[in-house]
Structure 1
Amino acid sequence: MDLQNHFGVDIGAQLILSNIPMIDGVHQIIEKTSIRATLNESNKKATRHLDRSKCKNIPLSDILFDPQTSGGILAIVPKTKATKLCKVLSNDIAPSSKLIGTIKFNKSGIFIS
């Protein structure tokens, strides 16, 4: 929520968990075991900004906090340019590029569906 603090306005994000690229096999490991991120306990404080009430797979959403399986580049791009940018990136530079959500103004928090 650093953007909210920086700009001084209510700003949030709606993330679509199924659009977030993950390493092959992560889904199966999380579904079949109780293995979580190595920093799972200390990462729980970051979840205070999360609303997972519409999330279909809450255990899988924990992967968002794992430094071993998350990462890459996250960019805020105008909606009118996002699809084209993703297409260019996925064709030439970063094959796993995806639109993973939208920014919500006047609505603070991170909403995962």
Structure 2
Amino acid sequence: MNKFIFNDYFHEPQGKIAKRMIFKSDNVIAFVLNIAKGEILPGHTHLESTLFLQVMEGNAKVVTDGNETLLQVGELMQVDGQESLQVINVGEDVLRLYVTISPMGSEAFATDANV
């Protein structure tokens, strides 16, 4: 059992995006994406994985295979890995998303990052 505090993973992006890993195992990874105002997580896929995105702070426009969905605090979205996924911060502040990916897929997805 592990206890985590979301605020420990909330960071002001120095550039566009600050990704902070919370948990990693063979079956799942969990992290917080901190996306600066007006910035975009470019379109990409996660192949055989399933993703869950939950808005912790801010407002997002999520584009999956060309379909746009607005998400606000407290809302959760499931995305199949083969769907193209793009996230746009449409709010006035940093967008903070809690993300899980299962199974993990590429090891490249399982590290902190600053973009």
What TM-score does the superposition give when structure 1 sets the normalisation length? Answer: 0.24
Higher RCO, 1 or 2 (CA under 8 Å, sep at least 6)?
1
Higher helix residue share: 1
What TM-score does the superposition give when structure 2 sets the normalisation length? Answer: 0.24
Which of structures 1 and 2 has the bigger CA Rg? 1
